[in-house]
Structure formats: structure tokens, C-alpha cells
Amino acid sequence: MSDESDYDDVVDLNALPDDELVEQMQDDLYDGLRDEVIEGTQILLKRNWKPAVILKDALVGGMTIVGVDFRDGILFVPEVLLSANAMKGGMEILRPLLSATDNVSAGKMVIGTVKGDIHDIGKNLVKMMMEGGGFEVIDLGINQSVGDFFAAIEEYKPDIVGMSALLTTTMPYMKVVIDEMVAKGIRDDFIVLVGGAPLNEEFGAAVGADAYCRDAASTVDIAKEQMALRQAAVS
Amino acid sequence: MDNSTATIIPFPTLNIIACGALAKELIALKSLNHLQQINISCLPARYHNTPKLIPDAVDKKIELIKSRNDGKILIAYGDCGTGGLLDAVIEKHNLLQENLVERLPGAHCYQFFAGQQAFIDIQEEEIGSFYLTDFLVNQFESYVWKSLGLDKNPELLELYFSNYKRLVFLAQTNNEKLTKLAETCANRLNLKFERIYTGYGDLEKSLNNFNAGEIPIVQIQPKLYAS
């Protein structure tokens, strides 16, 4: 997004009008500049922006661009991680304020990396973007068994169960969890989303998930669609 | 004058499409076993980090080989993170010509170097194992360190490796220098170090069986998402 000359310019964030500041924050997030994103977040708060709006416009907006460029092969994992780290910096400021001012949750999700798999970079990105999208997310961590998922379902009563895997050898475990949900007669009580580098839509359908999510940004959209479908079916 | 004509029956051509990370080992095995009739064709080893590029690239190579000879084709890849899409390419070609294309068994090169069961045992012993082969130790700087952006952003190390506990060097050769280098890699990643000598493992067995025309040792994994 930014060319090299941008790095030579010292931008006084305080001097920018709101719209330019948001645009600059998206650029800074894209470039993984955590300190600048934190500073921008603080400035917008001082200007009486609502935390939810800062989150949506500056942070999620910026991270969505990162997601698109990652999908299109313009950005790679290291850059995405730096951007995510910058977004996390802003979110750490906003999170306590959000809980105090914006109690309306878009839905609740439990998410974990399945048994046998310790990879969590993608899962952590999804967690962050889902939180940015207004969802309450309970992160179960890595190497989660059927029992772990069921315990979390019982405890948190989520709307969405999310499963992640990076390995070809571990992705079939998603079917084990879903089959167990079917066996217990609770499958239709939850939206099941699956994701991970070796997965695809065909796999998601074959294991019985509601949807395959190809990246963190699209997960938010898919989750919202699925929630809307579910609510429409109930009403 | 002897008018009889000797009929020379040539060895059938065998083709291997391999990950560049296996090139050295395959060439060594070809030479050791005098397998002149085997053609080795490699794809870039960097696909190790971008597995989505593997199926299409293999598909194109198969088409190219088919336009040149009728020999069987061994795909010297594991599933390698393609999520079954590499096997789909193989199935497509086998539908047109039965048993034309085979693949090495297992999910990754680690698995066929170590051997199927041995690899499962190693993984079950410590789920947080990060694997290197001779190739990856030699290419650690470019294929691991730089490709993960750790040269420019060492702070990402924790994000990438915090769930790993040990580095397992699956050694194809007994090379003290390489072992020391592998240990240095483990130190850089803040992981415990372990070396397991595998030799060429199932790669050698598969190559010999392929050459002998024995099909079954190399088999496609069952469909991952079969019900």
C-alpha cells in the first residue's frame, strides 16, 4: 500500500483530520506499525470517537485490506503477522472500553485447533477479526479433543463452533467432532465453521460443516451470514 | 556372416516428478542403483512453503511427460499440505490411464524419510516437534529463517514457534558438520535438539519398487473426507 518514500516522511498523526487519520491508521496497520496504530487509536478516543467505530473503521477496515492482499498473494505470512500485531495493539486499548460501552454481541464463538495440531497463527487471526466484528470469542487453544470441544460447548453455550487445522493429518479430526455432535443430536444447534491452510470448500462440505472459511476476514462475513440465516429460520 | 538380428528390448522409461528438496537424494539413489532409465524432473523446492502451487505444477509436468513418453510416473511428494488436491490430480490422470501415476506414501517428506510408523511414534512422543531434513538444514537460512521473515522481524519467533518444544533433525546422511548446523538451527529457534538417522527411508524402497514395477508400496492416501 505504501511505497518506500512514505517511510521517509514523519507523519504527525495529531495534525491529521479524522478521515485522513483513519486512512493513515489503515496504512500503518498494513505496514505493521504497532506504535503508530496505538497512537492513532488514542487520538481518535480523545476526539470522542466511539470505540466500536474506531475498531470497525480504522482497525478492522485496515486488517480487511491486509486479508485481501494476503489472499491475492501480495502479502505473505510475516507481513500479516506484523499487521495483526499492530491491530492487537489498538485492540488492547479498545477492548475494555468496548465491553463498557458496547454490550451488544454479534454472537458467541468457541474456537480451537483440533487434536494433534499445535498450529494457531490462523486461529489467532480469526479470533482477532471476529472480536473486531463484534463477536465474543472463547479461544480454547491448540490440540483440542472432542471432549474439550464438548466441555466448551456445555460451558459457554456458543452460537458458533470454530475448528482450525494446518496439517493434512489432523484436518480429518474435524469430522470426528462433527460426527459426535450429530450422534449426540446437537449438531443443528450450532453453526460449525472450519478453516486452515490445507482445507477447501469441498472438505468443509464433506465433513458436515456449515461453511469453510478461507481466511480471517471472510470468516467474519460468513459468521454474520450464518447468524442471519439462523435467526431468519427461527423467526 | 550371421544374419540373425538381435532384438534389444529397452528398459521402459520411468519418470519421477520430485520436489526440489529431494533432488540430491534422488540423484544419489539413481546413481547408486544404476537406474539410468529413470528421468528425474524437479519442481522448485520453495513450493514447500506455498503448497497450493504444487497440484497445478505437478499436473503440468505430468502432461508434459505424457507428451514425450509412455512411462509410468512417480510423484516424489507427500501430500505436502495440499489437503488432498495433489491426490486429486493423480486420480484424474489414472482415470485416463490406469496406474500411470503414483505418489510416495505419507503426508510429508519427513514421513517417508522416517518411515510411516516411526514418524507417527516420533510425533506422538512430542506433538510439538519441528522437523528438518538434510536439505532443510542446508537451506535453513532461506527456507525457514528468511521465508518466515525472521531475518527482518525476529520478534515473530515467539509467534511462530511458541508451541514447539523440540527440533528433530531427520538425517539422511551421517554428516557431523550438518548435525552441528542443525543444532545451531535448534538454538536459534529456542528448541531442544534431537537427531534421528533415517537414511533415505521409504524413498529408497519406493524407488526400487517403482523400478521393479511393483505398484502397491506407493499408494494414494485414502480420501481425507470420505464418509
Do A96 and A114 belong to one domain?
no
* Grid cell locating A149: 470441544
Do A89 and A112 belong to one domain?
no
Number of Cβ within a 10 Å radius of residue B201: 22
Domain range for B27: 14-108+202-212
Do B89 and B136 belong to one domain?
no
pLDDT averaged per 10 residues, chain A (length 235): 55 93 96 96 96 92 88 87 93 85 80 96 92 91 98 97 93 97 97 94 95 91 94 81
Do B80 and B102 belong to one domain?
yes
Q: Which of A56, A72, A101 is the last residue of a domain?
A: A101
Domain range for A92: 4-101
B28-83 pLDDT, tens per residue?
988 888 888 889 999 999 898 888 899 999 999 999 999 988 889 999 999 998 88
Looking at residue A113, which CATH number applies to its domain?
Answer: 3.40.50.280
State the total domains in chain B: 2
Asked if B79 reaches chain A (Cβ–Cβ under 8 Å), the answer is yes
Do A111 and A220 belong to one domain?
yes
Give the gap in angstroms from C-alpha B84 to the nearest C-alpha of chain A. Answer: 8
From A79, A120, A172, residue closest to B224, measured CB to CB: A172
State the total domains in chain A: 2
- Which residue of chain A is at minimal alpha-carbon distance from B51? A198
Query: pLDDT tens digits, chain B, 227 residues: what are they?
Result: 445 455 554 556 889 999 999 999 999 988 888 888 889 999 999 898 888 899 999 999 999 999 988 889 999 999 998 888 999 999 999 988 888 899 988 888 888 899 888 999 999 999 999 999 999 999 999 999 999 999 999 999 999 999 999 999 999 999 999 999 999 999 999 999 999 999 998 888 888 888 877 533 333 333 333 33
Q: Which of residues 177-196 of B touch A (CB under 8 A)?
A: none
Element (H, E) at B30: helix B23-32
* Grid cell locating B81: 499440505
CA nearest A22: which of A59, A52, A50? Answer: A59
Predicted-complex ipTM score: 0.82
Instruction: Fill in the amino acid letter for B186.
Output: A
Do A93 and A123 belong to one domain?
no
Alpha-carbon distance of A165 to A148, in angstroms, equals 15
CA dist list (Å): A46 to A39, A43, A53, A101, B173? 11, 5, 13, 16, 63
Do A95 and A112 belong to one domain?
no
Asked if B20 reaches chain A (Cβ–Cβ under 8 Å), the answer is no
Q: Which of A61, A85, A101 is the last residue of a domain?
A: A101
| CB-CB under 8 Å, A198 with B51 | yes
Looking at residue B46, which CATH number applies to its domain?
Answer: 3.40.50
Do A111 and A204 belong to one domain?
yes
Do A178 and A217 belong to one domain?
yes
| CB-CB under 8 Å, A168 with B84 | yes
Residue A49 exposure: Cα atoms within 13 Å on the Cβ side:
22
Contact B122, A44 (CB under 8 A): no
**pTM for the whole thing?**
0.83
Q: Which of A67, A101, A135 is the last residue of a domain?
A: A101
Looking at residue A85, which CATH number applies to its domain?
Answer: 1.10.1240.10
Q: What is the pLDDT of residue A45?
A: 97
Give the gap in angstroms from C-alpha A205 to the nearest C-alpha of chain B. Answer: 9
From B123, B153, B160, residue closest to A82, measured CB to CB: B153
Dihedrals phi, psi of A187, to nearest 5 degrees: -55, -45
* Grid cell locating B199: 537414511
